[in-house]
Chain A
């Protein structure tokens, strides 16, 4: 069965410091991986995705994520956090074997709090 784990309910980081939000996954076959961000009372916004190719993926707002196949991880990173990065972050996965249709599997979400 496909699954996504975000082991931290909350991540706290000081402004200007690097941040990491962790995500591990389990799928049959190769994964397609996504990160979304949700600000209060808003829908989810797409940040970045890994489909194939370079393991380091760059996305919106200076975020990047590294795909690690051996560790089945797709951690979200940013070199220097901003207070405005404070939000709820979701990792999601789908297997390339899904074929014509399948549903994204979402993690439980990690709340990022960046302190001035």
Chain B
């Protein structure tokens, strides 16, 4: 089945550590996105990528980094510069434009600082 796979489902980070969240899609979608969701809140865009080897900052990019070396993969690194990283992270993808078909979402990664 086509879809988006996020791993791990749960992740624990110590203070000062960098951690990387994985996002893989087999939908042949060009565009991919990372969102952050705090408890009971809406979605905030961290980074997005329209094509391979290109990505753009979203609304809350500080303390995060991404890469897009392959069409299928869009990993997100939460760096030590992100002071409050505990949140639910969602990855999504869309066909070029995203206008008609909307987004397909992964199941999310819950990151907790310990």
Contacts and interface: CB of A to CB of B under 8 A. Distances in A.
B97 A41 contact: no
Contact of A106 (B4, B43, B99, B110): B43
Interface of A: 32, 34, 36, 41-46, 49, 51, 90, 92, 94, 96, 98-104, 106-109, 111
Interface string B32-47: 0100000011110100
Contacts, number: 64
Interface residues of B, number: 28
Interface in B45-69: 45, 48, 50
A98 B90 contact: no
Nearest to B35: A106
B107 A96 contact: no
Contacts of A107: 42
A100 B51 CA distance: 12
B16 interface: no
Contact of B107 (A43, A98, A100, A106): A43
Nearest to A34: B102
Given A107-B42, A111-B40, A100 B105 contact: no
A32 B105 contact: no
Given A42-B108, A44-B105, A103 B98 contact: yes
B97 A100 contact: yes
B98 A90 contact: no
B54 to A, nearest CB: 11
A27 to B, nearest CB: 11
A36 B106 CA distance: 13
